[in-house]
């Protein structure tokens, strides 16, 4: 049997090569490096057995119906899978996998820490200042930042990524670790001396608050006006998890008023829009105490190739009658 596979965006080549070597697959790839238009997606998935999707494509009931009864698998090229209607997939007997790999956690942890240091040492501001020809002489008060050594890091969510951030900062920079999660993490506590806190306690104590929770009904809007008011005026907020975890209007107001010192964001509430409401004069892009990256926390050659390979391995396992290693539904 030939399995017809539609890939909604061209991905790094390791996984593609694995699938092309197997004569059981007929691959069709949307080659433009932009999100596929919805009408085009609905057209291209028709009579496909497998959809290899990425995070920007919403794979819902309409897409599954358009594919038809032959659709047996959705292999998501992402760790998250909130773009897929899991209930609908389960109802139709469609297997769903993600691209979880240790490399992803390592890359996102590194990016998270990069945002922290860039904020604390005002790297982006300093770069712009220097490029603009404003650097005329060394000065004792020029672009003063803050040290992270010995400060308190507050981690919200201690899965692979959150734990990776904690280990690096504790071991390398002697930071005190506090964390909040659904349940206590004895391993993290024993390795780093981490102390469990409620979310409110953590917000009040931490010098840096770093978010590492999945997007769930319980985490949507987790950080809003009330939570931001609990934070220190000298504290930084980092979000490399999912944009809707943070309410951006209250965040922007807090940054403008100096309620908190700064924010490092890789994800956004209305992504890919940075400003959900252009009429409200609350634009994160205008603030100097914010660093913005375009959802690139896992964007390294090593990680994206690993994700490609894992996605292909999930598909191959399924076709061979095995349970895919990264099955989520």
Distance CA 113, CA 120 (A): 11
CB 230 within 8 A of CB 197: no
Give the residue carrying structure tokens 């109802």.
91
Angle at 41 between CA 38 and CA 46, to 5 degrees: 135
Tokens read off for 261: 């010192």
Distance CA 294, CA 265 (A): 9
Q: Compute how many other C-beta atoms are within 10 angstroms of the C-beta atom of residue 127.
A: 11
Distance CA 57, CA 81 (A): 10
What radius of gyration do the chain's Cα atoms show?
22
Task: Supply the residues annotated as catalytic.
Answer: 242, 271, 295
CB 5 within 8 A of CB 28: yes
Give the residue carrying structure tokens 């008023």.
257
Distance CA 67, CA 49 (A): 8
Distance CA 100, CA 80 (A): 8
* Beta bridge partner(s), residue 28: 6
């Amino acid at each position: 049997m030939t399995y017809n596979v539609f890939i909604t965006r061209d991905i790094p080549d390791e996984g593609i090569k694995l699938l092309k070597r197997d004569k059981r697959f007929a691959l069709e790839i949307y080659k433009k490096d932009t999100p596929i238009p919805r009408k085009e997606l609905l057209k291209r998935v028709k009579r496909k057995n497998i959809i290899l999707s990425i995070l920007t494509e919403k794979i819902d009931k309409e897409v599954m119906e358009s594919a038809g009864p032959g659709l047996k698998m959705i292999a998501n090229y992402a760790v998250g899978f909130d773009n897929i209607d899991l209930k609908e997939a389960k109802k139709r007997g469609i297997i769903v996998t993600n691209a979880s790999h240790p490399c992803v956690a390592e890359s996102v942890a590194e990016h998270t820490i990069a945002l922290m240091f860039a904020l604390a040492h005002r790297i982006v501001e300093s770069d712009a200042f220097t490029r603009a020809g404003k650097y005329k002489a060394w000065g004792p008060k020029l672009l003063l930042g803050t040290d992270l050594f010995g400060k308190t890091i507050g981690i919200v969510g201690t899965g692979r990524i959150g734990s990776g951030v904690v280990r690096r900062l504790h071991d390398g920079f002697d930071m005190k670790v506090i964390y909040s999660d659904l349940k206590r993490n004895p391993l993290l506590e024993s390795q780093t001396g981490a102390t469990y806190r409620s979310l409110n306690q953590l917000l009040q104590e931490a010098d840096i608050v770093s978010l590492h929770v999945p997007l769930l009904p319980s985490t949507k809007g987790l950080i809003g006006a009330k939570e931001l008011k609990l934070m220190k005026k000298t504290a930084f907020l980092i979000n490399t998890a999912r944009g809707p975890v943070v309410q951006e209007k209250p965040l922007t107001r807090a940054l403008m008023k100096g309620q908190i010192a700064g924010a490092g964001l890789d994800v956004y509430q209305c992504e890919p829009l940075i400003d959900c409401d252009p009429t409200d004069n609350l634009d994160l892009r205008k603030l100097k105490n914010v660093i913005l990256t375009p959802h690139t926390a896992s964007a390294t050659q090593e990680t994206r190739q690993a994700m490609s390979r894992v996605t292909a391995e999930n598909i191959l396992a399924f076709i061979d009658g095995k349970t895919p290693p990264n099955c989520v539904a």
